[in-house]
Amino acid sequence: MTRTKFSRFGTSHQTSWDWRAAGNFICGGAGSSLLAGSVAAAFPEAPDWRVLLAALLLIGAGLVFVWTEIGRTWRAFNVLFHPQTSWMTREAYVAALTGALVAGWAFTGIAPLAHAAGLAALLFLYCQARILKAARGIPAWREPAIVPLIVATGLVEGVSLLVLIATAQEVPSSALLAALTALAVLRFASWLRYRARMDASDMPPVTRRVLDSVSRGMLWVGTVAPLAAAGLTLAVPAIAPLAAVAALVAGAHFKLQLITRAAQVQGYALGNKLRRGHPLTMKPGAAEATAR
């Protein structure tokens, strides 16, 4: 068997985050993108207040997941004290700013406040992506390609929710379906780039197996199914929700697997070149000669 620098290290999973952390990325990414997408769809007017409220509730639900994950819950307030170094602190501040802008629009009716909330929501999504990249000890998270992948996944989730909302009211517009298919393709392209860079690195074998399973979901459920359903909507409008649901499921599955199964800790990986002189790598009799 070929030894890699992860033969001994990189097999233990991080124990700080569980499914609740994944819930923050799932709900927060979908909520922030829903808010930004609804603002963009209604521009230059303000979107429906119910959509903005639903988006804020999703963002809030994600933050509550993180809060409940902390053993001593009041320690959560410590996250507010490190904006100069922590992307989690910046995420919390941007979430508060987004809520304040939506509240300001609700009380004043000034549409630019809603537009600013949409921009803040995109910044929130970016902060979430940077949180993962900042985890230097976890190869699957620290890869720079994770940032555009998380952002693209969030955008797909938000537009998918918009399609579902539009379907509940009427047949979704062709523009929404076109945006969903374009973003699904963009997400898959981001996934291929991320996976190629991970394959080129010496990632832990466990991480490789998890990413292999995610690849199938991203291709068939997250890309092929939405594209096929969106195309068939031209003939059968009632199947439009299938495109949105498939895209949502693939994104949620990816984030859940990334947090709960693909987060192996690197540890102290010294590599093969530093094994010179190790008894297991020397020829028979060499160890005794070295000892003499």
Give the CATH number for residue 26: 1.20.1630.10
Residue 2 in this model has a pLDDT that exceeds 50: no
* Per-residue pLDDT band at 84 (split at 50, 70, 90): low
* Per-residue pLDDT band at 189 (split at 50, 70, 90): very high
At residue 99, the pLDDT reads 97
At residue 268, the pLDDT reads 54
Residue 290 resides in a domain: no
Residue 281 resides in a domain: no
Residue 245 resides in a domain: yes
At residue 278, the pLDDT reads 45
Spatial distance between the Cα atoms of 292 and 288, rounded to a whole number of angstroms: 6
Which one, of 240, 241, 197, 195, lies nearest residue 218 by Cα?
195
- List of residues 6+ apart from 264 with CB closer than 8 A: 6, 10, 11, 12, 13, 14, 138, 139, 140, 204, 206, 207
* Per-residue pLDDT band at 290 (split at 50, 70, 90): very low
3 vs 85, more confident:
85
Average pLDDT over residues 7-29: 82
Residue 118 resides in a domain: yes
Residue 95 resides in a domain: yes
**Contact criterion met (CB below 8 Å) for 258 and 21:** no
Residue 106 resides in a domain: yes
Residue 7 resides in a domain: no
Alpha helices, DSSP H, located in 134-204: 139-142, 146-169, 174-200
Residue 81 resides in a domain: yes
Q: Is the dihedral of CA 54, 59, 63, 66 positive or negative?
A: positive
Residue 78 in this model has a pLDDT that exceeds 90: no
Number of structural domains (the chain) is 1
Which one, of 55, 43, 46, lies nearest residue 122 by Cα?
55
Q: Which domain holds residue 143?
A: 19-266
With 0-12 / 13-18 / 19 or more C-beta atoms within 10 angstroms meaning exposed / middle / buried, residue 154 is buried
Residue 254 in this model has a pLDDT that exceeds 90: yes
Encoding tokens for residue 290? 């070295």
* Per-residue pLDDT band at 281 (split at 50, 70, 90): very low
* Per-residue pLDDT band at 274 (split at 50, 70, 90): very low
Average pLDDT over residues 183-211: 95
